[in-house]
Chains A and B, each alone.
Chain A
Amino acid sequence: GQSLEQPSEVTAVEGAIVQINCTYQTSGFYGLSWYQQHDGGAPTFLSYNALDGLEETGRFSSFLSRSDSYGYLLLQELQMKDSASYFCVPRLAGFQKLVFGTGTRLLVSP
């Protein structure tokens, strides 16, 4: 079977650092993507980890450990505009079907 776990909600204040964890269980795992989605908007691609380790893109970093079936998204210097839902999305070898869970709702307060 296939499973995906993320916290349902995370709250933080502006300027803080927050980590959104993701554990997955799936066959044919190829890599882990992260998407951001603001209310009423479309998912926006943030990052992709094909290999173990940390990928940094500006204020956002994403980490993958294949042996632990675990990844996280790290958001630094939080801004109000970072309030959104964040989805970790496994990519499956040979298939482009993206499997989304319910995501993590991040609320950033002043």
Chain B
Amino acid sequence: DAGVTQSPTHLIKTRGQQVTLRCSPKSGHDTVSWYQQALGQGPQFIFQYYEEEERQRGNFPDRFSGHQFPNYSSELNVNALLLGDSALYLCASSLGTGGSETQYFGPGTRLLVL
């Protein structure tokens, strides 16, 4: 039973560029959430996708966008990269959108913006 997978594992970009990160949820899960974790901080919620729609969004600018595909996999897009976007980007999957379901995290994508 495959867990949550993310690609790529590491990425280096320059300011102003655009980046796309990918996530495949755990088998049987239909909901994907994205988090940003800066060094020394806890993960911060970016947004959540369910049934191919953005259901909830955290306090992140519109430069951060996403998509969910019919097979429940998801992408996170960040436009006009800033140095401050350097972080570990985590994807978490779960079943359903209620509050009782456990979210399981993928290994993350470490993004460095130069």
Which residues from chain A sit less than 8 Å from chain B, CB to CB? 28, 30-31, 33, 35, 41-45, 48, 50, 87, 91-103
Contacts and interface: CB of A to CB of B under 8 A. Distances in A.
B97 to A, nearest CB: 5
A93 B99 CA distance: 5
Contact of A91 (B40, B43, B92, B99): B99
Contact of A31 (B48, B92, B100): B100
Contact of B42 (A50, A94, A101): A101
B24 interface: no
Interface of B: 31, 33, 35, 40-45, 48, 56, 58, 90, 92, 94, 97-108
A50 to B, nearest CB: 7
Nearest to B46: A97
A96 B102 CA distance: 9
A83 B25 CA distance: 28
A36 to B, nearest CB: 11
A7 to B, nearest CB: 14
Contacts of A93: 98-99
A34 to B, nearest CB: 11
A98 B35 CA distance: 9
